[in-house]
Each structure stands twice: as structure tokens, then as C-alpha cells.
Amino acid sequence: MSIRRREPLRRPLNVPRPFFSKRGLAAYHAATTERRAATLRELSTPSYPSGASWDEPVRAAEREGRFRVEHSPNGSHQVIAATGFRQGFQNDALLADLVDAHDLPVHDRWIVLEPDSTVAALTDETRTLSLAGVAAQWAFPAADTIAGAKYAAHGFRRRVCRTR
């Protein structure tokens, strides 16, 4: 059994292609903080692609009685749940402490980052703090992907390797 509080959206990618381009990222970086947060909330909505290759295995498991979707556990003895994570820096002890100790700027559940994934208040000529993964979505909406890791690494390299 899978427990869903809401039905996932059907879209081809969790993060649309324009966010992987310079032009798309420039527009995202130029947006107001509220517009950026709204974009990130929208992109955080559970989703999966449409099509038989995604639907048929689930339908087959439902027909065979191996899988069902419910809105609550309903007394079931076995629950397989792969959705629902605690979102936001507040749910990560290290990040929450970092924000509190240095009074870092935040918006909603995100730490406000520079476009290169660095924390401005903790980055200067002698030190660089760069975030990656889901914590870096403010800089790159797809930060929790391989492309996001590459984006953060390139930003970090540009900050640290100033000889290039």
C-alpha cells in the first residue's frame, strides 16, 4: 500500500527544461523572492511522467492485488511509502544552526543563496560556503539532481579557483 495525501501531477520532468538553460536561469534569478519561492513550491509538488510505461506496471500490480493507494494507513499491516519528506532548512539540524548562528537571510523554507550556490554572508576572499543538493534549490531549482551537483560544483570552482 502507498499512502498519498494528494495525487501527483503528470508532467514530463520534475523541473522544466528552461531551468537548465542560461536564459531560463537568468529569468529565475531575476525574479522576486516571492516569485522564486512560488516556483520552488510548484516544482516541489510530487509528479511523474504520463504514459503507459509508467502506468501499466502500477495497474498490473493493482489488478493482481499487490498494490493499492490509500489516503491513510487504515489499519494496514504493511505500508510502503516513498513520498513525503520534511522540507526546508529548519528540518536539517546543521543548516538550521548555521542560519541561527549567522543570522542568514531566508525566505520561507529556503536559505537565500547567490546564483552560484554560495552563501553571501559566509563567502569572501578567505572562505567560501557553497550549498548543494536540495538545500541549494534557491540557486538552481533542480539542485537535487546530478545536473544540480554539477551546477554547484562549477560555481564553487569559480569562487575558489580565481586563477581561471
Who contacts 2 (Cβ-Cβ below 8 Å, separation ≥6)?
67, 68, 69, 70, 79, 80, 81, 82, 83
Based on the structure, what is the number of domains in the chain?
Answer: 1
Q: Which domain holds residue 52?
A: 2-160
From first to last of its 164 residues, the chain has per-residue pLDDT tens of 566 667 788 888 778 888 999 999 999 999 999 999 999 999 888 788 888 998 899 899 999 998 887 777 767 666 665 555 678 999 999 999 999 999 999 999 999 999 999 999 999 989 999 999 999 999 999 998 899 999 999 999 988 886 55
Helix, strand, coil distribution of the chain in percent, nearest 5: 45, 10, 50
Determine the residue type at 55: D
Give me the amino acid identity at 116: D
Quote the CA–CA distance of 138 and 25 in Å, as a whole number. Answer: 11
